Structure 1
Amino acid sequence: MNLRNTTLLVVLFSACVTYAQDSTLVDVNTAAEPKLSYLDSIKSTFQKHEIAACVDERWMNELSNQDLYSEMIADIENTNLDEKVEYDLSTELLKERLKALDAKSAFHIEYNPGLENIIKHYLKNRKRSYERLMALSQYYFPIFEEALAKYNVPLEIKYLAVVESALNPRAVSRAGATGLWQFMYGTGKQYNLDITTFTDERSDLLKATDAACQYMVNMYKIFGDWDLVLASYNAGPGNVSKAIRRSGGKQNYWNIRPYLPKETQGYVPAFLATMYVFEYHKEHGIVPQKPIVNHFATDTIMVKNKMSFKQISDLLDISMEQLQFLNPMYKRDFIPYQTDKNHFLRLPLDKVAVFTSNENKIYAYCDYEFNQREKPFSSQEMLATSDVSIVTKTKYHKVRRGESLGLIAKKNGVTVTELKRWNGLRSNTIAAGKNLKILKEEKVAVTPKKVIENPVAKAVVSNDTVKVKNDKPLEAVNYHIVEKGESLFSIAQKYEITNDELKEWNELEDENILIGSKLIVRPLEKQMTENHIVQSGENLNTIAKKYNVTIDELKEWNELEDNNIKLGTTLKIMLPADEEVVVAEVKTKKPEKQSPYKSEKIYIVQKGDSLFSISQKIKGVTVSDLKKWNGISGKTIKPGMKLKISG
């Protein structure tokens, strides 16, 4: 019986323990539920439509890749049409194909040795480039053809954008021509392309293409020949007219070519060679790469609120690179809002559906984000807020396989432009395994510091000697801005410190320093501060002399832009802070009846002292007395000097 009862108790106890454990687990799981951010809570309410994404992120590396543009421009400027190129393409077969092209083209396409050489050059040396260009063309060409057909311009003109910009809407030439069709600023304005701080419609796919078509129509009215229209697009109608006159009135491009600018001499042949490569790429084994995006899988939305690409990227889960590729007209990755002008955002169709279904929520989030940004302090807030120091820290990111600059920039809260500048990159192409430098600015709160009002801060009287023991220095450090040509060694020599001290104070891993860097050259514990209130008749020069410092030091310590100071202004004066300084020898037999300086015999000059300031400290002593007793003819004294202070 006792055994049965004991067994029952054990079973009941085990059941209770098990129940308690289960209850505990439920409570822990409930408590650990993460709190959603405002962004996640907004996105969780979005209506979504299941349409396959039309852009593969790795293709976004092509969006601002300047390699193709540089190669195309170099070919036009430097390729010698008279230099024979060896390539497996017979002259007879080329003549036959050019004749076929001529039969269906508005251009005069006739064989000549120069054209043969540049075609073979492209086929031999630019095969890979044309595979990439053909991928891009599958997005751009349908848009070009639609506009060209509208203005009754030959559809082959679409190949001109390949020659002009390598299909890069953000391409900028050395002369400043911008966009797919390389409009100069003045020409862009002439054709109503808006150029502002935030937007450049020369990079707008639709508006720039429309302007290019208008230009072509106007030039054709002048010359009546599409070859000459192409030449005028590059050189300007004035240069083409001059070439016609200098050739004796000839109006065939190949006859006036020697009289055109050098660049234009290679321009039309490059256009015709590009046309040939595109039309006969299969015959030469050129396989277009995967298209970046299908034009018909995108659409535009009129934006009714200001927003940044970063906000759109976070809300719609679309990469920054994709947004930049589809919207190259926004120079600062920011869409402004103006009541008198409409701005549009191009997105893949699946993202358009999400945007339009949740438009009000998206605008609400953007407003919330903008309101969270730091605002200017009021004077009261500034008084109540502790000091904040901005510290720049460097970290490194090792590139993993499949990562792009845009993805890395997004992860670290920086821009692609900054990544390229910090790491000396010229293109968006990066190799796996490379270490990228990333600079991050952090705000560090600094406890308000006590200001030492007088260098003689605390006096300890001991028999016949007065000793001054200063508090630990509590003010700012000295800085040096690195200039061109300086090294860590030269800076250390200048401030009479060591390389190791510079590296330690500035947390440097090696001796590499950047121009413009701000280096600590005097550690905190070697300084103290005295405040000086500007009196009537004083200026920076007199104050600098009084404290034995320079005007530039005064301006640096007090962040002054010029030499003007106002009466009553408090100026900071940086002084050395020795731990213990003997100031004077004092006889203290009758201190209650004597001035503390009356019986002084010797005074040791401190940094910042002047004859005037010393005379003020010692009653009954004038500057003339000090000069007379110490044989001083001028006003210059140096720290460490011993001055007699009695006759």
Structure 2
Amino acid sequence: MKKIVLLVLFTGSLFGQVPEELPGKEILQAALFSDYDIALIDSLLLETKYRSPLYETASYLIEDAEKKEVPSVVLSTEVLKERLEKINTKTPFNIGYSPVLERVIKSYLKYRKRYYPALMAKAAYYFPMFEKYLDQYDIPLEMKYLAIVESALNPTAKSGVGATGLWQFMYPTGVQYKLKVSSYVDERQDPVRATIAACAYLSDLYTIFGDWDLALAAYNSGPGNVAKAIKRSGGYRNYWNIRPFLPKETASYVPAFYATMYLFEYQTAHDLVPEAPQIRFFETDTIQIKQTVSFDQVSEKTAISSALIQFLNPSYKLGIIPFVAGKDYTIRLPRKNSFTFIENEMAIYELAREDAAKREKPLPKYFEMDKRIRYTVRNGDFLGKIANKFGVRVRDIKRWNRMKTTRLKIGQRLSIYPRKF
């Protein structure tokens, strides 16, 4: 029975919505706490981190802050306590005062304050869209700050372990949440699709733990590590009580989220003046294309800057929107320019045909890789060779196939999730 429940937990609760016919939340939670279950979950998720360049910086600052004196920032402990208490009364997160959080907030104010105006301009574009889907999934609206910790609101951000997009999805997890990746399109970089997937994933984590702070920690380190921390703490289910038992990265991750929430809530008090956003999400619209076109071709015929088109359409990896039978690929443009595109649509397609005729090499073939490849090891194969063939890392192949060594046998079948073509 234990193995059956664990299998359902992994394929349903972690990577998709929990089926209605499953046992109640208490049974799912109980299944997490045996040594056997925890070891298996950790073996699958330990290296599946959601990391970003911003997070690595944030982690460093937090660790540094915990070792040093509080930076010289004009913010008294008493005032900070009052402000955090006000935030705490209106959020389901446990954002009460702690010396660690005070150090993190003051470190951000001292070392990163100059980055926030530009970051807040991006937030003015993305946050209304985030809130729409967070509300639909009954997730606290404050969870929008998670995308700042994950990616600094950069939809094309890629971490060292392959996590991609605003919400830093790994390839296998993205596939489970219906984010497709092809030679032209990476839907993990699509702000709307990735946000919907993140909401579904966070909702599943809340189903497991029944606590948003723990769901937040599990988003970073996986539910197995959070379950272990709960067990090792003696059964506590409060983040601050289990924090000493979490991986170091996750112990830093949640305070980074709290600190970000505080700085956005009290931006005026700290003279954090947002830059004016280039455009707002509600000022855009999508148009379905009828022929493969590039951003430059659209720009030439509509006078919309290529940079703005790129900003609004980050999921197209090559700056090209492919036309594929059965697919509904669209271009997002400023609403005020939509009629300009429609009026010049035929001219855009004609320009695309002319450019194609002049091109020495044809455009890359469209490949969609939303499922794993089963590769059979041949004579002369080794992991490095196979990794190069599919554009992945050796450690990824080992993790996907639960390999403890790099030794291969002829005829051995490997699961591969290609990332580039």
Task: Answer whether TM exceeds 0.5 for this pair.
Answer: yes
Map 1:286-435 to 2 at 5 A.
286-374=272-360
* CA–CA distance in structure 2, aligned partners of residues 214 and 119 of structure 1: 30
Q: Within the alignment, does 1:84 sit opposite 2:69 as a pair?
A: yes
Q: What residue in structure 1 maps to residue 225 of structure 2?
A: 239
Secondary structure, counterpart of 1:158 in structure 2:
helix
* CA–CA distance in structure 1, aligned partners of residues 258 and 361 of structure 2: 57
Q: What residue in structure 1 maps to residue 116 of structure 2?
A: 130
* CA–CA distance in structure 1, aligned partners of residues 229 and 109 of structure 2: 31
Preserved contact between residue 61 and residue 107 of structure 2 (Cα < 8 Å): no
Q: Within the alignment, does 1:209 sit opposite 2:192 as a pair?
A: no
* CA–CA distance in structure 2, aligned partners of residues 321 and 375 of structure 1: 25
Deviations 1:412-433 (A, max 9, x none): xxxxxxxxxxxxxxxxxxxxxx
Map 1:60-79 to 2 at 5 A.
70-79=53-62
* CA–CA distance in structure 1, aligned partners of residues 347 and 294 of structure 2: 15
* CA–CA distance in structure 2, aligned partners of residues 249 and 364 of structure 1: 66
Counterpart amino acid of residue 307 in structure 1: V
Counterpart amino acid of residue 91 in structure 1: T
Preserved contact between residue 61 and residue 104 of structure 2 (Cα < 8 Å): no
* TM score, norm. by length of structure 1: 0.47
* CA–CA distance in structure 1, aligned partners of residues 229 and 163 of structure 2: 23
- Counterpart selection for 1:270 from 247, 256, 274: 256
Which structure has the highest helix share of the two?
Answer: 2
My pick for the range that moved more, 158-167 or 239-248, is 239-248
* CA–CA distance in structure 2, aligned partners of residues 266 and 74 of structure 1: 11
Map 1:221-620 to 2 at 5 A.
221-374=207-360
How far the C-alpha of 1:71 sits from its partner, in A, is: 4.4
How far the C-alpha of 1:320 sits from its partner, in A, is: 2.0
How far the C-alpha of 1:364 sits from its partner, in A, is: 2.5
Secondary structure, counterpart of 1:79 in structure 2:
helix
* CA–CA distance in structure 2, aligned partners of residues 311 and 190 of structure 1: 34
Counterpart amino acid of residue 189 in structure 2: S
Preserved contact between residue 297 and residue 352 of structure 2 (Cα < 8 Å): yes
Secondary structure, counterpart of 1:120 in structure 2:
helix
How far the C-alpha of 1:375 sits from its partner, in A, is: 6.8
Change (3 A) 1:375 1:259: closer
Secondary structure, counterpart of 2:269 in structure 1:
helix
Counterpart amino acid of residue 340 in structure 1: G
Counterpart amino acid of residue 69 in structure 2: K
* CA–CA distance in structure 1, aligned partners of residues 237 and 335 of structure 2: 48
Map 1:32-71 to 2 at 5 A.
70-71=53-54
Q: What residue in structure 1 maps to residue 206 of structure 2?
A: 220
- Counterpart selection for 1:98 from 80, 84, 88: 84
* CA–CA distance in structure 2, aligned partners of residues 369 and 356 of structure 1: 20
* CA–CA distance in structure 1, aligned partners of residues 137 and 154 of structure 2: 23
* CA–CA distance in structure 2, aligned partners of residues 237 and 370 of structure 1: 49
* CA–CA distance in structure 2, aligned partners of residues 77 and 219 of structure 1: 26
How far the C-alpha of 1:353 sits from its partner, in A, is: 1.4
The count of residues paired between Structure 1 and Structure 2 equals: 308
* CA–CA distance in structure 1, aligned partners of residues 325 and 237 of structure 2: 50
Q: What residue in structure 2 maps to residue 183 of structure 1?
A: 169
Deviations 1:324-357 (A, max 9, x none): 1111101111111111111111111222111123
* CA–CA distance in structure 2, aligned partners of residues 284 and 375 of structure 1: 54
How far the C-alpha of 1:211 sits from its partner, in A, is: 0.3
My pick for the range that moved more, 308-317 or 136-145, is 308-317
* CA–CA distance in structure 2, aligned partners of residues 143 and 249 of structure 1: 37
Counterpart amino acid of residue 134 in structure 1: M
How far the C-alpha of 1:365 sits from its partner, in A, is: 2.5
Counterpart amino acid of residue 179 in structure 2: L
How far the C-alpha of 1:121 sits from its partner, in A, is: 0.7
Preserved contact between residue 327 and residue 346 of structure 1 (Cα < 8 Å): yes
Counterpart amino acid of residue 157 in structure 2: A
Preserved contact between residue 77 and residue 263 of structure 1 (Cα < 8 Å): no
Preserved contact between residue 77 and residue 262 of structure 1 (Cα < 8 Å): no
Q: Within the alignment, does 1:161 sit opposite 2:147 as a pair?
A: yes
Preserved contact between residue 143 and residue 206 of structure 1 (Cα < 8 Å): yes
Deviating beyond 4 angstroms after TM superposition, the runs of 4 or more aligned structure 1 residues are none
Secondary structure, counterpart of 1:266 in structure 2:
helix
Deviations 1:235-259 (A, max 9, x none): 0111111111111111111111111
How far the C-alpha of 1:263 sits from its partner, in A, is: 0.8
Preserved contact between residue 93 and residue 213 of structure 2 (Cα < 8 Å): yes
Preserved contact between residue 102 and residue 110 of structure 1 (Cα < 8 Å): yes
- Counterpart selection for 2:137 from 129, 151, 158: 151
* CA–CA distance in structure 2, aligned partners of residues 153 and 75 of structure 1: 24
Higher relative contact order (CA 8 A, sep 6+): 2
Which structure has the highest strand share of the two?
Answer: 1
Counterpart amino acid of residue 159 in structure 1: Y
Unaligned runs of at least 5 residues, structure 2:
1-51, 363-421
Preserved contact between residue 54 and residue 151 of structure 2 (Cα < 8 Å): no
* CA–CA distance in structure 1, aligned partners of residues 54 and 359 of structure 2: 43
Q: Specify the structure having the higher radius of gyration (Cα).
A: 1
* TM score, norm. by length of structure 2: 0.71
Deviations 1:361-400 (A, max 9, x none): 3222222321232379xxxxxxxxxxxxxxxxxxxxxxxx
Preserved contact between residue 115 and residue 269 of structure 1 (Cα < 8 Å): yes
* CA–CA distance in structure 2, aligned partners of residues 188 and 77 of structure 1: 27
Preserved contact between residue 313 and residue 320 of structure 1 (Cα < 8 Å): yes
Q: What residue in structure 1 maps to residue 401 of structure 2?
A: none
Provide the identity percentage. 53
How far the C-alpha of 1:359 sits from its partner, in A, is: 2.1
Preserved contact between residue 303 and residue 345 of structure 1 (Cα < 8 Å): yes
* CA–CA distance in structure 1, aligned partners of residues 153 and 249 of structure 2: 19
* CA–CA distance in structure 1, aligned partners of residues 134 and 238 of structure 2: 24
Counterpart amino acid of residue 346 in structure 1: R
